[in-house]
Structure 1
Amino acid sequence: MKLISQFVPSFSMALFTMYASYSQNLVANGSFEDANLCTEFHKYCAPEAWVATSGQANYYFGDMSIAYDGFHYVGLAAGCVNKRGVRNFVRTQLLCGLRKGKQYMLEFYVSATNKVLDSIGVYFSPEDYLYEKRSFRDIQPAFWYVRSGAALTQSPAKWQKVVTVYTATGNEAYMTIGMFKRADYTGSIKPDFQDEYLFLLDKVSLTPVDVNERICTNADLEKLRIYKDDDRHDRLEKRIDNYLKNPPVPRPKLNLTRIPTVQHVDTLIIPDIYFVSASYELSKKSNELLDSFARKLTGLLDSVVVTGHTDSVGNLEYNKELSQNRAVAVKQYLMTKVPSLGVSFVARGYAYLMPVASNRSQSGRKRNRRVEIFVYRRD
């Protein structure tokens, strides 16, 4: 990893303005590009919509040659040379409430000079983690990142993509990311910043797996409210202390994501054999199958969703790309066969994250290598 440079802006920051967004990301400012002005220090020193649990720590950095996406990234304390139990977690409020039982794709990028990546966890909670009275050692994250596949052969200093499918409990309002491992990291290498060992975080997103599930109608207003929350450093410490001494009336639950009224009318599963081996090129015998399916699609259609899936052989990046390309190939073919005026065509690749059978057997892996087509009609 390169030497971390603390963020000192060399350009004017654009003011945040509300605008209609078509993104379904339920996390605001996931790439940390929108900077928060810390008035007590007269500089931009924190990302909008995100707050670190340690108000005194430096955790916001800017360097285009280091960041995965854009200019900014976050560096979180995973240990300390001189003091035990040092951690710094970063939390954000979700823009919308999640629907119980629904699935959401969580993605982010991490890197580190030290061996802490397998200790990174993601914790969803109904209450703000800033006011959590329990030790992080007593909290069980919803997801632990474990390096696998190609990531095992790569240096941890190289950005690693983390992808998982999370099933909601319906009580999520906040998401917190950090090193939840109980034991301290005791590395022999020198610290990354001052006396702390860090891991870097960038480009966080949480999106519904169901393409018909949309961001809530008041998401932009919620984002604006979150951006107005500017307590940092000393002001943050005072706010936390005041909250714990005089807890306010709980705020109403977040508005849930929306699911427009559409009817699922048809599904087609295309096995692996309809593609050229290890490729996203459609084989000739697939044309007749897709043509027959397209002829059945009559009436006022709303959307056609194509999802690609693989078995667990190979690394995540390769399978994500293969599954996405296969989904796109099928989508593009169907668009030439179905009257597409007003119809939304969506393609998504899930690699091996959504198996329908065990990947331990040859027959199970064969079932998992598939493309699924879902057709929805407006009521």
Structure 2
Amino acid sequence: MKVPLVFCFIFLGIQAWCQNLIPNGGFEDENICTEYVRNCAPEAWIATSLHANYYFDAAIMEHTVAAHGGTHYLGITAGSLGMVGIRNFVRSRLLCGLQEGHQYKLVMFVYAQTPVLDSIGVYFSEQDYLCEKRYFRHIVPQLWSIDGMKRSAEDTRNWKKVEWLYTANGTEGFITIGNYKRIDYKGINKTDTRSEYYFYVDDVSLTPVDSTEQLCPQADSIKSAIYLENERHSILDRKIYALRRQPPPIIPLPKTAEKKFKIQKIDTLVIPDIFFATASYELSPVSFHLLDSFANKITTYQVDSMIVEGHTDSIGKLAYNENLSKNRAMSVKNYLVNKVADLNEKSVTRGFAYLRPVASNSTPKGRQMNRRVEIILYREE
């Protein structure tokens, strides 16, 4: 069983895909079934029947349909020329529970060689659809593709993008896709395999409309547990039979999390040169009270970083003033990090000599203002 690494780049489309509440929505991760030890199904997705093939790999199979993305896609039985009421549904467990009243965007790409796209249904359920005892004609999906198709666009490969906005009721645990039309289609003479006709699905995503809503912290572990469901074929048939006789208790999924934005504040303290010995970087005792008071405040903050900058007036050579400004900044930093735990690794010192004056160096008062150390503290609130 392959569990690939997923890298999220800062592109809007990919970033949204990384918030996908549906595992393996592109069907590229292959499941190795327990019974035949073959990659005959996608991870996370289980069909209600495996008597008909539903997993296609365009890279190795001679088929008329190329995948919308990657090489894999699903083919879902929409009906049969030989038998009435033949359907196949595919379901997957969601990675997180949905927030009641919140909206989610569901997107998928569909294709069919027959006119069946108007009857694709999407059904959200609290219980696993594999436990469902009702006939599909008695189930009403929350979403129909006829609504999504009104806003869809056809690309050059005939895949149609179907997009809905879904308002959650807060009980959703599974998503199921299939043809929920109660009456079989008339006038279809061409089949996809044997006597059955299909519609195809690729690149399914369910993402929160609110950008501050994120995947729950347990999403990775839930995905790993979903990927461990390796029952397919006759083992799956026996599992479905047992589940329908005695459905397991419903275990609600942890809800999506709201991203908390941190407010950053910047505090600045200016230390004049009177707190240093003349022409020295040694702190004078009169500076201790000010620095102790500042250190006490720091201990109450959640500090991101601290920058300590030293500055001088323009008297003297640049090299001398650079060393003096750096050393004074270092003296202040060392004093504070000895007072505040874990501050050292968050601190940076800089010396700018006389290159960043705040007043004119042509007067004694201006030069005194330029001789200073500035502490810039970045903290979260």
Structure 1 counterpart of 2:29: 34
Q: Deviations over 1:267-321 (max 9, x none)?
A: xxxxxxxxxxxxxxxxxxxxxxxxxxxxxxxxxxxxxxxxxxxxxxxxxxxxxxx
Structure 1 residue aligned with 2:53, among 46, 54, 58?
58
1:20/1:157 CA distance change after superposition, 3 Å: closer
| Partner Cα distance (1:157, 1:148) in 2 | 19
| Residue type of the alignment partner of 1:58 | N
| Partner Cα distance (2:49, 2:257) in 1 | 35
| Partner Cα distance (2:155, 2:80) in 1 | 22
Q: Is the 8 A contact 2:106 2:206 kept in 1?
A: yes
Q: 54-63 vs 37-46, which deviates more?
A: 37-46
| Residue type of the alignment partner of 2:3 | F
Q: Deviations over 1:79-98 (max 9, x none)?
A: 10100000011100000000
Show structure 2 runs of 5+ residues with no match: 9-14, 60-64, 264-379
| Partner Cα distance (1:225, 1:201) in 2 | 24
User: Is the aligned partner of 1:175 residue 2:162?
Assistant: no
| Partner Cα distance (1:79, 1:157) in 2 | 23
Structure 2 counterpart of 1:255: 254
Percent identical pairs in the alignment equals: 47
- The Cα of 1:177 is off from its aligned counterpart by 0.6
- The Cα of 1:54 is off from its aligned counterpart by 1.2
- The Cα of 1:251 is off from its aligned counterpart by 4.4
- The Cα of 1:244 is off from its aligned counterpart by 2.4
Q: How does 1:1-379 map to 2 (within 5 A)?
A: 15-17=2-4, 23-64=18-59, 66-146=66-146, 147-148=149-150, 151=153, 158-248=158-248, 250-262=249-261
SS of corresponding position for 2:158: coil
Q: Is the 8 A contact 1:137 1:181 kept in 2?
A: yes
| Partner Cα distance (1:15, 1:143) in 2 | 32
Structure 1 counterpart of 2:300: none
| Partner Cα distance (1:156, 1:122) in 2 | 25
- The Cα of 1:215 is off from its aligned counterpart by 0.2
- The Cα of 1:122 is off from its aligned counterpart by 0.5
Q: 136-145 vs 186-195, which deviates more?
A: 186-195
- The Cα of 1:212 is off from its aligned counterpart by 0.4
- Deviating above 6 A after TM superposition, structure 1's stretches of 4 or more consecutive aligned residues are 18-22
- The Cα of 1:246 is off from its aligned counterpart by 3.2
Q: Is the 8 A contact 1:114 1:187 kept in 2?
A: no
Q: Deviations over 1:202-234 (max 9, x none)?
A: 000000010000100010000000000111110
RMSD of the alignment, in Å? 2.3
Show structure 1 runs of 5+ residues with no match: 1-13, 265-377
Q: Is the 8 A contact 1:76 1:198 kept in 2?
A: yes
| Partner Cα distance (2:6, 2:199) in 1 | 33
1:121/1:157 CA distance change after superposition, 3 Å: farther
SS of corresponding position for 2:185: coil
1:227/1:34 CA distance change after superposition, 3 Å: same
| Partner Cα distance (2:4, 2:197) in 1 | 36
| Partner Cα distance (1:168, 1:150) in 2 | 22
Q: Is the 8 A contact 1:173 1:254 kept in 2?
A: yes
| Residue type of the alignment partner of 2:259 | P
| Partner Cα distance (1:206, 1:161) in 2 | 14
- The Cα of 1:260 is off from its aligned counterpart by 2.8
- The Cα of 1:103 is off from its aligned counterpart by 0.6
- The Cα of 1:41 is off from its aligned counterpart by 2.7
Q: Deviations over 1:17-68 (max 9, x none)?
A: 5668671100000000001112423421100000001132210011056100
| Partner Cα distance (2:195, 2:155) in 1 | 22
| Partner Cα distance (1:197, 1:156) in 2 | 22
Q: Is the 8 A contact 1:123 1:142 kept in 2?
A: yes
TM-score, structure 2 as length reference: 0.62
SS of corresponding position for 1:137: helix
| Partner Cα distance (2:70, 2:216) in 1 | 27
Q: Is the 8 A contact 2:81 2:189 kept in 1?
A: no
| Residue type of the alignment partner of 1:254 | L
| Partner Cα distance (2:74, 2:183) in 1 | 22
